[in-house]
Structure 1
């Protein structure tokens, strides 16, 4: 079992799903890059390949930030600002904190299973996409995605310092759809699905590529209040703004 520090910050400001990359870029600018956890880049602009401990979301159409472990400490670089004026696309807006919720979440494997929904999951890199498309049956493709899902869960475990005891299991129970969405200047195939897993996992954390900006958000199906969340198409202009910050 691993106790994870989990902080959810909800702002009073409305934010569309397509504006999340703009929100991320604006927060990075506001914190003056005092912590690499906000952007996962070194001082020379090279990437730090690790699970994001600070993730940017929209929940119930409001801007929010999820922080895990060390991310709950470094978020103070944002809170220390007296006025939080952020530029989201073409508009500048003063962001106000509506709610802060901090708790410890027990992440562990169990004998039973939990049901989760995964929205706009970027499972495939270029190599895996070719392998996926070469598969001829739905069963083969489903099994292939399940292996990738377990890999993403193990990456999450490593990122939060969870030493998985026993075998981590994940079974896709329903494929709800797929669509191509913009990500870092390209189109990426994203999957929405339900899966069963023998691990307790915190809501809203991201899996796969783009986890820091709302892709692959995980929701426990048993929580009816979370199941009604809606997602919108990302905006290429916001993606471009984020890419420019990552190159700086």
Structure 2
């Protein structure tokens, strides 16, 4: 399956902690015109893979979008060129620095593909409690591998694709673990390398918090 993606980097400075503020600013700019910019229907959550994702890239505000999200973001940027936005206490003009468009593949692969994932939040509170009871690092990594498989399958399902073979994931290295606050809950995040028998589109994100910069994937 071919998936169209677009990455937008703005000239506006932004820290990772400010990414939710960027999301709020652009939601206000979109004025509720498209549900693609948020994950709510009224007061209820809309459980689907976010097609518009808010990020920090090299200290600057950034957006990543795919599928129908590309068209929605194009319309927003065209209508709101140089618009004034409020990011926290700052009011500034939103200025685009660069756009990158890609046509990528989501498919099974005969050869294992290598990936790096940053700030990956695989565990909910229940899973984390179980993770802490595991004495073996091997058992812990196997648990994270199962989470990655589930996240890949969930992403593929959101794109309308179902694999006819088993997905395999193997963690190669865990570079860092760090606690993050997501939805007022402390969660364990991972920077790690893994390989999988799946070709994934560049810069998609997996796990929890993907709409605000968690779980971005980099291809080797």
Residue 124 of structure 1: aligned partner: 123
> In the alignment, does 2:188 pair up with 1:189?
yes
Please state whether the residue corresponding to 1:75 is helix, strand or coil. Answer: helix
Supply the distance in 2 between the matched residues of 1:95 and 1:21 (Cα, whole angstroms): 16
Cα contact 1:68–1:160 (8 A) shared by 2: no
Contact 1:31 1:77 in 2 (8 A): no
Q: What's 1:47 paired with?
A: 45
Q: How big is each residue's C-alpha offset from its partner over 1:46-90, in whole Å with a ceiling of 9 and x where there is no partner?
A: 100111111111222221111111111211442212442221122
Aligned with 1:69 (options 46, 50, 67): 67
| Cα deviation, residue 154, structure 1 | 0.8
Q: Assess if the C-alpha contact under 8 Å between 1:208 and 1:216 holds in 2.
A: yes
Root-mean-square deviation (CA), in Å? 1.4
Hey, what's the Cα distance between the residues in 2 that align with 1:103 and 1:82?
A: 22
What is the distance in 1 between the residues matched to 2:29 and 2:14?
Answer: 17
Aligned counterparts of 2:188 and 2:166: Cα–Cα separation in 1: 28
Q: Matched residues in 1 for 2:106 and 2:70: separation?
A: 17
Work out the CA distance in 1 between the residues paired with 2:159 and 2:209: 17
Which is further off, 101-110 or 19-28? 101-110
Question: Counterparts of 1:86 and 1:194 in 2: how far apart (Å)?
Answer: 37
Q: Secondary structure in 2 aligned to 1:212?
A: helix
Q: Give the Cα–Cα distance (whole angstroms) in 1 for the partners of residues 164 and 92 of structure 2.
A: 46
Structure 2 unmatched runs, 5+ = none
TM-score (norm 1): 0.84
Q: Deviations over 1:184-231 (max 9, x none)?
A: 2221111111101122222221111100111111111x2xxxxxxxxx
Q: Could you list the per-position Cα deviations for residues 95-123 of structure 1 after superposition, in whole angstroms to 9, with x for gaps in the alignment?
A: 11122222321111111112111111111
What is the distance in 2 between the residues matched to 1:96 and 1:156? 31
Q: How many equivalent pairs are there?
A: 219
- Answer yes or no: is the 8 Å Cα contact 1:117–1:194 preserved in 2: yes
Q: TM-score, normalised by structure 2?
A: 0.94
1:141 — aligned with what? 140
Q: Which runs of 5+ in 1 are unaligned?
A: 223-248
**SS state of the match for residue 157, structure 2?**
helix
Counterparts of 2:202 and 2:87, CA distance in 1: 25
Contact 1:52 1:159 in 2 (8 A): no
Report the Cα distance in structure 1 between the residues aligned to 2:82 and 2:97, rounded to whole angstroms. 14
SS state at 1:55 partner = strand
Of 67-76 and 161-170, deviating more is 161-170
